[in-house]
Amino acid sequence: MEMSKRFQGKQAVVTGAASGMGFDIAKRLGMEGATLAILDINQDALAEAAQVLRSDGLIVNAYQLDVSDTTAVSNCFNHLIDNFNGTLDILINNAGIADFGMVETTESDVWNKVMAVNVNGTYLCAKAALPAMKQHGGTIVNFGSIAGMVGIPNMAAYCTSKAAVIGLTKQMAVDYSKLGIRVNCICPGMVADTDMGRQILGTDESEALMQKRLSKYPIGRFGKSEEIVAAVLFLASDEASFVCGSAFTVDGAMTAF
């Protein structure tokens, strides 16, 4: 199947892009014409990802980055935007982490780390991208989760962080849509074939618990990475030109019931 070129001439940044869904998003953006900046905290994995993408003929620069580091984010975006000749069209805030625990059992350092990456990282990267986007418009897709919309047992910090990302998305859409900048949030359900999905599902693989989890999904199965990637690219594209401030669920009707 011939790939469309709906991102031809666009400059795109993807955080958490060294592996998993972030890598898949970056690859699809590049295959559809975007020039890429991929960001990740893991230097070795990032270098390998960049090499693979370049071997596919994609135009990509790689930047090691801890998205929770204020100074590092500012410096990184200044550098990558200079390399993009002052423009930036697409930001995918994919970087995120999960941890487990109820409020009573979640240590403060764990809570703070989840907030620093998932909430502060989203805020810092968006803040750094906005000055360039304000010149010609752009689009930001933040990664929320259904965990930001419903309670998930034993995931106090993660649920709170993703609820904050949803709130930030809506607020940014109100402030920046008038400037031609669309901000949306993708809210996936359980995706089994990702590192985070395996991390969550791997906590207990008993048949009874798996059936209980699946029973929450009217569609009868968990999601697939490529289904989330397709939704992210839709939100980033001009096809979603009237979609702004959305918490876009891709969850097999889990939050509908």
Active site residue 158: yes
Residues 6+ apart with CB under 8 A from 32: 3, 4, 5, 6, 7, 8, 233
Catalytic residue among 63, 123, 158, 176: 158
Closest of 92, 66, 62 to residue 80, by C-alpha: 62
Q: What is the DSSP string of the chain?
A: -PPP-TTTT-EEEEES-SSHHHHHHHHHHHHTT-EEEEEES-HHHHHHHHHHHHHTT--EEEEE--TT-HHHHHHHHHHHHHHTTT---EEEE-------B-TTT--HHHHHHHHIIIIIHHHHHHHHHHHHHHHH-EEEEEE--GGGTS--TTBHHHHHHHHHHHHHHHHHHHHHGGGTEEEEEEEE--BTTSHHHHHHHTT---HHHHHHHHTT-TTSS-B-HHHHHHHHHHHHSGGGTT--S-EEEESTTGGG-
Half-sphere exposure of 12 (CA within 13 A, CB side): 32
> Looking at the annotation, which residues are catalytic?
158
